[in-house]
Amino acid sequence: MEKTCNIHTAFLNRQLNGGFCPATKHITLITSIKRRIGSSQTVSSLVTRKTMNTRTLIDRRVPSEVPMPEKFGMFGGKFVPETLITSLNKLEAEFIYALQDPEFQEELATALRDYVGRETPLYFAQGLTNYYKNKDGEGAEIYLKREDLNHCGAHKMNNAVAQAMIAKRMGLKNVVAATGAGQHGVATAAACAKLSLSCTVFMSADDMEKQSSNVLLMKLFSAQVKPVEGGFKEASSEAIREWAGNLETSYYLTGTAVGPHPCPSMVCEFQSVIGKETRRQAMEKWGGKPDVLIACIGSGSNAMGLFHEFIEDEEVKLIGVEAAGFGLDSGKHAATLSKGEVGVYHGAMSYLLEDEEGQIIRPHSIAVGLEYPGVSPQLSFLKDTERAEFHSSTDKEAVDAYLRLCRLEGIIPSLEASHALAYLEKICPALPNGTKVIVNCSGRGDKDAGMVHNQKFCIN
């Protein structure tokens, strides 16, 4: 049963990689690959130079006649058992319908404004900007997109409330979710409380201990929190199992930008409000677009939320920052796009951290929200097409950035967001004077104060 979620893909990879020449980036035609692994089927894909064009593949609004793209280049797809295919198709149909329904859009806009507290400000970080100025007083201008000000303290709520509303529309009474650090669990539990849906959250027993305050919050929202032996991936598997067993009455609320289609697209769409607001705010503030966008990457939901709006603006640089943990060569990190290989994980083809036998490597980061061995298929695609660049920050660099923002701006960022802030150390010296840099401050860090205080985790 385990294997349905951790699909052994070595053979598949070799087949696919055989058609891709990294040296020249020339993609050859790969004719249909129909391969049975257990009870799942790979989806055949024609990957040509033409289809690598980002413009055609990542759509924002989809007219009802055209289905949403299932894949982004070779990434994405629906690697799931047959039993789930119907539910996923139903979900996709409902999603497309909701996007075009003005009533849903209005209800969602009201919830985002009055419940979540949007729009979030685009804040000019004077202290940080001054800190990175060179001796001539020149340097980039740094802005923070304040997702930390959302209800529940992170960007997670944008997606949780929208999907909970979809669940309600579909007449489903129970919501199932899996959470690592607890942020997604808390957001889901809160949204379900508001919409009177019952909520079950699966969480690793270890994580429950480390994040006990988040567990309390979920229980206060009347959610049931069920412990699972293992890590986040085991918790996700349990959650999917629970969902698969109750397809008529339950809704699987994904918080990550990973998963079988339509999950990545749904999460991206609901998080894209971040980028849309940013465009407008940048126009108001300086009459132009941002030059550089920086976001931390766990699964990639906050990064896609910020980047998506600007993908077609080639002059806007997109930078994702992953967790390098103890260092990229230590083996204890979560830098999927830097060190991972292509494979299938949680129903989607994407980069992931796996060993030579295709087994998932347990990732590490001081920021629990970044401890994810997979990554969004859309981000994998942006990497391969070189539309975005990906770097990483170590635990220590993240903690330093955390402390720095507290001191300079009076904002306590989450350790996750701190990874993005840490990257400023490397990029700012090289940026021309007046470059407009926007960092997605994806969450607040009150939850991390204890950890930073205790220094429970070894920092190199």
Partner 1 sequence: MEATASITTAAAASTTKPQSSSSSLHKPYSSAQLPIKVSKLSTSRAHSRLAISCTLARDAEVKMEEVADSDPALWKRPDSFGRFGKYGGKYVPETLMYALTELESAFYSFKDDPEFKKEINGILKDYVGRESPLYFAERLTEHYKRPGGEGPHIYLKREDLNHTGAHKINNAVGQVLLAKRLGKQRMIAETGAGQHGVATATVCARFGVPCVVYMGTQDMERQALNVFRMRLLGAEVRGVHSGTATLKDATSEAIRDWVTNVETTHYILGSVAGPHPFPMMVREFHRVIGIETRKQALEKWGGKPDVLVACVGGGSNAMGLFDEFIKDRDVRLIGVEAAGLGIDSGKHAATLTKGEVGVLHGAMSYLLQDEDGQIIEPHSISAGLDYPGVGPEHSFLKDKGRAEYYSVTDQEALDAFKRLSRLEGIIPALETSHAIAYLEKLCPTLPDGTKVVLNCSGRGDKDVQTAIKYLEI
Which residues bind to partner 1, rule: CB under 8 A? Answer: 113-115, 117, 120-124, 127, 146, 149-151, 189-194, 196, 213, 216-217, 219-222, 403, 406-412, 446, 449-450, 452-453
Nearer to partner 1, 221 or 310 (CB): 221
Q: Which of 427, 118, 401 is nearest to 275 (CA)?
A: 118
Give the list of residues 6+ apart from residue 149 with CB closer than 8 angstroms, or none.
Answer: 117, 120, 121, 444
- Cα angle at 52 between 50 and 53, to 5 degrees? 80
Give the list of residues 6+ apart from residue 128 with CB closer than 8 angstroms, or none.
Answer: 142, 144, 404, 405, 408, 409, 424
Nearer to partner 1, 49 or 407 (CB): 407
- Closest approach, Cβ 148 to partner 1, in A, equals 8
Nearer to partner 1, 62 or 408 (CB): 408
d(CA 46, CA 73): 9
Nearer to partner 1, 217 or 294 (CB): 217
Peptide bond into 119 cis (omega under 30): yes
Given a contact cutoff of 8 angstroms between Cβ atoms, the answer to whether 258 and 295 are in contact is no
- Cα angle at 219 between 213 and 222, to 5 degrees? 155
Nearer to partner 1, 110 or 433 (CB): 110
Nearer to partner 1, 120 or 380 (CB): 120
Cross-strand bridge partners of residue 201: 177, 225
d(CA 349, CA 249): 28
- Closest approach, Cβ 400 to partner 1, in A, equals 13
Given a contact cutoff of 8 angstroms between Cβ atoms, the answer to whether 151 and 114 are in contact is no
Nearer to partner 1, 96 or 192 (CB): 192
- Closest approach, Cβ 143 to partner 1, in A, equals 9
- Closest approach, Cβ 80 to partner 1, in A, equals 30
Given a contact cutoff of 8 angstroms between Cβ atoms, the answer to whether 352 and 340 are in contact is yes
- Closest approach, Cβ 401 to partner 1, in A, equals 13
Nearer to partner 1, 149 or 349 (CB): 149
- Closest approach, Cβ 57 to partner 1, in A, equals 35
Give the list of residues 6+ apart from residue 375 with CB closer than 8 angstroms, or none.
Answer: 257, 258, 297, 299, 300, 322, 336, 337, 340, 350, 351, 352
Tokens for 200? 């079950």
- Closest approach, Cβ 381 to partner 1, in A, equals 34
- Closest approach, Cβ 149 to partner 1, in A, equals 4
